[in-house]
Chain A
Amino acid sequence: MAGLITSLLNQLKELGLVREVGIPFAEENKTVYLPFRNIGTGIRNYFYADSQLDGSNCTIRAIEVIDNTVLSVSIGTTPATDMLPAEILAQAYMGFSNSAGEDLAMLPLPVMIKNLNSGKFCFFDMSNHRWGDCYIVLTDTSSISETGSLAVRVWYTKR
């Protein structure tokens, strides 16, 4: 039985569907801010286009959502907007799209908050997306206003 599990794990590793935790996995990372501009359920708030983060230029290896436990005030927007607590971030999910408009993945934001997940990164292997077509959707707008913002750390490897 142990051999069967080892064989399966090796197969998944070869396919790139699993990755060892706790070892280096990306060359660079950057923080991207998204002030909420459209407060409404089901509306897509798109990230600002960033060709450095497009799938044509990089492979996204992990994404980390920053809540107000990690960073209390956003430093990247003018005026500075308030970072949101995890309970409020549970009212939104992030979507990844490619340039053809195909949805590649959708994930609730708290799943990507490291300190809620025992320090584990949310791993990706995403190279067919367009960053400017990636978005956040609010499924509930309670306690969310235009003074709130979202910070996302993107860990990537240049292509």
Chain B
Amino acid sequence: MNNLVIRRSQLVEAVIVGTPTTGLRYKFTEIPNLSRNNIILYGVEAYSAAELSVSPSGKTSIAAADVDKITVTLKDSENLEFVYQMPLYDLIRSNNAGFITILQPRLINLTDCYIELNATSGISAGEVVLFNFFYDFATV
């Protein structure tokens, strides 16, 4: 079995803006580091409060107990949903025998990626779902 090797990573947030609502798309915030068009994403990991209780921007992370109410969609530079409604639970390393999710390397469209809530109980406005995007430059 293989596990991901980290060369560069960037913490990314998806904020629950306003009253938590099912069916809404909560988009990822823009990160200038990842907006350069020569960035290739090859792995992703998600965090709940069990991994980082407060985000670097000072927002409260989603509780570990609420992780199973959220799905994640990632879109590439051609607007294709190459990961569609993946359960957030599956992206948390400690839930998956310590393995980090490995992706086919590709350019991403960060601000079109989003999370969705399938239930809202226990989730509060202003909470954040944290991700780590593992990337390298397009020369690889």
Binds B, one of A27-35, A75-83, A115-123, A148-156: A115-123
Report the tally of A-B residue pairs with Cβ distances under 8 A.
Answer: 119
B51 touching A108, Cβ below 8 Å = yes
Q: Which residues of chain B have C-beta atoms less than 8 A from A118's C-beta? A: 94, 97-98
How does the 8 Å CB contact mask read for A122-159 relative to B, with 1 for contact and 0 for none? 11111000000000010110000000000000000000
Q: Let me know if B11 is at the binding interface, CB within 8 A.
A: yes
Instruction: For chain A, residues 1 to 39, give those with C-beta under 8 angstroms from any C-beta of chain B.
Output: 8-9, 12-13, 15-22
A71 at the B interface (CB under 8 A): no
B94 engages A110 (CB within 8 Å): yes
**A118→B99 CA distance, assembly (Å):** 9
Q: Does A111 contact B (CB under 8 A)?
A: yes
Contact A17-B55, Cβ < 8 Å, known A105-B8, A124-B6, A125-B5: no
Nearest CB of chain B from residue A64's CB, rounded to whole Å:
12
Among A16, A114, A125, A140, the residue within 8 A (CB) of B54 is A140
In the docked arrangement, what's the CA distance between A85 and B99, Å? Answer: 22
Instruction: List the B side residues contacting A52 at CB < 8 Å.
Output: none
- Please list the 9 inter-chain residue pairs (A to B) with the smallest Cβ-Cβ separation, ordered nearest first: A120-B98, A117-B98, A108-B52, A139-B54, A105-B9, A18-B2, A118-B98, A118-B97, A140-B54
Determine the interface band of chain A, counting residues with CB < 8 A from chain B: 35 or more
Among A94-122, those with CB < 8 Å from B are 103-108, 110-111, 114, 116-122
A111 engages B45 (CB within 8 Å): yes
Selected contact of B1 from candidates A20, A91, A103, CB within 8 Å: A20
The answer on a CB contact under 8 Å between B3 and A21 is yes
17 sample A-B contacts, Cβ–Cβ < 8 Å, listed by A number: A17-B105, A18-B3, A20-B1, A90-B50, A92-B52, A93-B11, A93-B52, A107-B6, A108-B51, A110-B50, A117-B93, A118-B94, A123-B6, A125-B5, A125-B6, A139-B53, A139-B56
* Distance between Cα atoms of A22 and B3 in the complex (Å): 10
Please tell me if the beta carbons of A12 and B42 are within 8 angstroms of each other in the complex. yes
Smallest CB–CB gap between A10 and chain B, Å? 11
Query: Is the C-beta of A56 less than 8 angstroms from some C-beta in chain B?
Result: no
B residues in contact with A21, CB < 8 Å = 1-3
> In the complex where A108-B47, A120-B97 touch, is A19 in contact with B58 (Cβ < 8 A)?
no
